[in-house]
A and B are shown apart, each in its own frame.
Chain A
Amino acid sequence: MNERVNPFGDLGDFAPAPPKPKVEILDVVDQVAAQHGFPSRQPVKPPAPEASPAPTTPAAPEQSPAAHVPPKEQLPSRRRTTGRSEQVNIKTTFAAKKRLMEISVERDMPLGEILEQALAALEKSWESAT
């Protein structure tokens, strides 16, 4: 430790001070801050806990105050584990795509299965034609 002789001597001439007279100081502060581009950067606090959710929705799951926005509605997943892992992108007409989707929904069949059955049916029709 290198504590040495105090070079400042007695600082007893400085004493605690009463609050400064408030000459509408906040008014001055507002004006000076606005004129010189010193805006408030105080983070906005979340609303006080008293503002709890209305008691009319007791069944609603608990949400943090920030989660005002209801989550986006999710469509039920159409994905299934089928073992098919190859992907094919096909340009087609709107009508053909619509029919494909309709069959998928009506028959509860994945698109891959429809494609396989459609190919099989096509080949079968060719065979019967010959």
Chain B
Amino acid sequence: MPTIVFVSPKGGAGKTTSALVLAEQLSRSADVSVIDADPNRPIENWAKGGAKPERMTVIADADEENIIERIEEAAARTPFVIVDLEGTAAKIVVMAVSQADFVIVPTQGSQLDAEQAGRAFRVIQQQEKMVQRRVPSYRLPYSVLLTRTNSAIRTRTLSHIEKGLVAAGIPVFDVELNEREAFRAMFSFRQPLAGLNPAEVANVDKAVANAEQFAQEVIAALRKVQQQASEVSA
């Protein structure tokens, strides 16, 4: 059921990395389609390394004209669909959001990133409101994922931003994606996290643990959404 769309109008927020990290973890237990709708096709390039997990399918021909069809086709084939978008405020982002069951907004702990993330929240909220006028039971849940955080130190800016988000009623994942060499090495070696050699890349185990926690929290959030949906329809 779940189509998970990664949105951030700002580049470099960690969309592609967190999308791929989640896709890898989910593909350990389920079939996952990854729609790479970034014109730079970073996930397609990653998959060319030949180490893509068996249960992961990468779809890399999505653009503004066909994104809705691509998501529908993928959702009919596999239980999980993950959509990675380009880091700009483009119409394709709104189109993908219209097909989402859950939106993840990756954000770095900087004021600039937080401001751009705010644009994403407003789009999500308005989309929900407008569809609700026709379908009152419609919900578009979303959550912020703080990315590239330091696992040891919490900066004051990050604390400030997180406080601001919580005060504004924006849901934030408990798990953060830490700044880890392994998350970058996935792309330079074109490997999934599990395929990285701990002798070559520092702290792979910590990155894997981080990825698992993130995936577990996403799964819990999706189960909650699914439960709410079935309660409404019951």
Contact = CB atoms under 8 A, between A and B. Distances in A.
Interface string B118-137: 01001100110011001100
B205 A8 contact: no
Contacts of A19: 72, 75-76
A13 B229 CA distance: 13
B202 interface: no
A17 interface: yes
Contacts of A90: none
Nearest to A42: B64
Contact of A40 (B91, B122, B208): B91
Interface size class, chain A: 35 or more
Contacts of B91: 29, 33, 38-42
B134 A38 contact: no
Which DSSP category, helix, strand, loop or mixed, fits chain B's interface? helix
B1 A14 contact: yes
Interface in B1-39: 1-3, 9, 25-26, 28-30
Contacts of B123: 32, 36, 38
Interface in B135-161: 135, 138
A10 B126 contact: no
A95 interface: no
Interface string A33-55: 10111111110000000000000
15 contacts: A8-B25, A8-B26, A11-B79, A11-B219, A14-B2, A17-B75, A19-B76, A23-B131, A25-B131, A28-B131, A36-B122, A38-B91, A40-B91, A40-B92, A41-B92
Interface of B: 1-3, 9, 25-26, 28-30, 63-65, 68, 72, 75-80, 88-95, 98-99, 119, 122-123, 126-127, 130-131, 134-135, 138, 194-196, 198, 204-205, 208, 212, 215-216, 219, 222-223, 226
Interface of A: 1-4, 6-11, 13-21, 23-26, 28-29, 31-33, 35-42
